A and B are shown apart, each in its own frame.
Chain A
Amino acid sequence: MNTYVLSKDHLKNLALELINTGYKVISPSKDGRRFVAISSADDLVINSNLKPSSVSMKEFFFPKTETLFFYKRNKDEYDLIDAAEVNQPQIIFGAKPCDTSAIPIVSKVFNWDYKDEFFNKKVENTIIVGLACKFADENCFCTSVGLSPVSEKGSDLFMIPLTENTYACKVISEKGKKFVSNHSKIFTETIDGKSININEIKIPEKRFESKEVKAWLDKNFNHKLWDKLGENCLGCAQCAFVCPTCHCFDIVDEECNHTCGRRAKNWDACQFEIFTKHASGHNPRNEQDKRYRQRISHKFKYYTEKFDEILCTGCGRCTRGCPVLTDIGIILEDINQLAKESISNN
């Protein structure tokens, strides 16, 4: 597929046109902390050097709270009313490979035994414009989970900085191709995709072998490492809520008043004590070490077994935000080390 050259002005014009034609245009916020829907093209932030936002962009596919339907009491019965369908097209700019790749990864669970139309519809309605990343700090580990600062996974279009003011924009998906042809006034100049120099982009060193981590997890459901991790962790679930790949939700009914209400799908997380609490009062994950073990095992073992994907993109958000600096990268390095030791001991 083609590769185009876009200047910052082109991008601004594109954003303006999209805002004017009813798109929800999403970009990192000016301070780079969140992804926000912008209402002026001047607020578009395209910057490869940005730190990953504190909170990921998952809320645009999987909102923190989403109405599934409303209910209304009608004498002795209940009428169910569909939630208003949201068909607004959206476009996301400035998403890093560790953001974009999360979408195909979690799509697998949202389309496993049941197709989650709420999630799917939003993905269908979204154009994702990925951006090569030049950030990489000690918390990042995309290269250890099969990705890199130039991965195109999950993007419809993918941008790589060429000069201060210009970007190469590669067309990745059919959806991206269609989008480009609909905006042919902006996408005019093409270049040879193979001629783009990505050597300038620092590729972080691999920190661990995910296969070795999984092999260790297979055999070490009980291990003193978990006790140590559970001890420091406060169980706040910040890590899950900022994570692009954490996708657990809770379904609740909430009353507006005694005759009507709504059923909602809300973010939930395995770090909460109440998450696995049974109605009987029994709690299989009654302690934080078990809950933290679940976090690591779900991402590097169970999800891999079930969906052949690692449920982590190495963005480092959970580490940066953790109030006690539980560093998932260091933990995975430690597990890899333990795996190596157990191989050499055998």
Chain B
Amino acid sequence: MKQLIDISKELFESKQVGYIIGYAEDKFKRVKPFVAYSSLDTERFVFNNNSVNNLAVYLTRLPKAKEGKIGIVAKGCDIKSIIALIQENQIKRDDVIIIGVNCNSVVNQIDEQFSKENTAIKCKYCQVRTPAHYDYLVGEIKEVELPEDKNFAIMQKLDSMSAEEKWNFWEAEFEKCVKCYACRQVCPLCYCEQCIVDKSMPRWIDSSATTKGNFAWNMIRAFHLSGRCIGCNECERACPAEIPLSLLNRKMGMVAINEFNYRHGTDINQPTLIGNYNVNDKEDFIM
């Protein structure tokens, strides 16, 4: 913590940053996003197993700093979304200062007690506990106990299902959707200035939470995140209806890896999968 605060203070004192997005505790000692505007503010910064939020979402939501760059405290997985935003030309590398943190996995839900059982599944396969890219690095890696991957069996089962069975599975899940769009709002890569579901003149997507409207919404979002989702799992965490959105995201991610050998958010200089045409791209899996 001291390292994190010292670096943050230094960034303010040398006038390099306008603000730093980090984590702080509230009066019940729960960790949540916190924006520091001064060296004094940074004394509230914390980082621990409850630092769940992917703060990269704020990079496209908050106004630009009046002076200086934007500082951001980020775990390895969050940094993937920062890289993705740079690859997609949403922010410039020079506009941010990344304080990477060595991460010892995080809790599943923001207000839960951290334990092996309550550890986020994404941490099981994490390759970036020491971030791959940063300006500063703080914290130490410790040995962690990893959770069970409860979803793996479900994914295998889904893979073996017929189209009709898959439809029934997702129909039952999407039926619960209340169309709050929390999945979109927490997603660092859902930054469209106008989301297609908000286009009302004319309407493209039914706004009703009916089977048709819910399928349209969840499918459109899945398509728009194909080859772009970096697997932070914020959407699933935020969903009040508890729809297992990570099943879709992981599947999409696996297709990008298996069919195109592409992992979004890993290399700042790599053209994006969707934004780059390659004559050698496979086509055989399309219909």
What sequence of 0s and 1s flags, for each residue 207-237 of chain B, a beta carbon within 8 Å of any chain A beta carbon? 1111001000000000000000000001001
Give the complex CA separation of A6 and B207 in angstroms: 44
Flag A47-80 by CB within 8 Å of B: 1 or 0 each.
Answer: 0000000110000000011000000000000000
Q: Say whether A54 contacts B240, CB under 8 Å.
A: yes
Determine whether A42 belongs to the interface, using a CB cutoff of 8 Å to chain B: no
Chain B, residues 225-269, CB within 8 Å of chain A (1/0): the string is 000000000100110111000000000000000000000000000
Least CB distance from A157 to B in Å reads 29
B198 near A274: Cβ-Cβ < 8 Å? yes
A323 & B180 in contact (Cβ 8 Å cutoff): no
Stretch of A181-189, A195-203, A262-270 lying at the B interface: A262-270
Residues of chain B within 8 A (CB-CB) of A327 are 26, 28
Contact of B207 with A234 in the complex, beta carbons under 8 Å:
no
Contact call B208/A236, Cβ cutoff below 8 A: no
**Which residues of A have CB within 8 Å of B30?**
325
Which of A97-105, A214-222, A237-245 forms part of the interface with chain B? A237-245
B149 to chain A minimum Cβ distance, whole angstroms, is: 20
User: Do A267 and B198 have beta carbons less than 8 Å apart?
Assistant: no
Contact check, A325 vs B206: say whether CB atoms are below 8 A apart: no
The DSSP consensus for interface residues of chain B is loop
**From residue B112, how far is it (CB to closest CB) to chain A in Å?**
11
Q: Is the CB of B186 within 8 A of A232?
A: no
Contact B62 A231 (CB under 8 A): yes
Write the chain A residue with the least CB distance to B109.
A320
**B142: interface (CB < 8 Å):** no
**Cα-based distance from A84 to B105 in the complex (angstroms):** 52
Task: List residues of chain A with CB within 8 A of the CB of B26.
Answer: 325, 327, 330
Question: Can you report 21 A-B residue pairs in the complex whose CB atoms are below 8 A from each other?
Answer: A33-B242, A64-B209, A65-B209, A65-B210, A232-B35, A234-B185, A236-B180, A237-B180, A240-B180, A241-B179, A241-B240, A252-B208, A254-B208, A266-B207, A267-B179, A273-B198, A323-B110, A324-B32, A325-B30, A330-B27, A330-B28
Residues in B lying within 8 Å of A, measured CB to CB: 26-28, 30, 32-35, 53, 57, 61-62, 110-111, 176, 178-182, 184-186, 198, 200-201, 203, 206-210, 213, 234, 237-238, 240-242
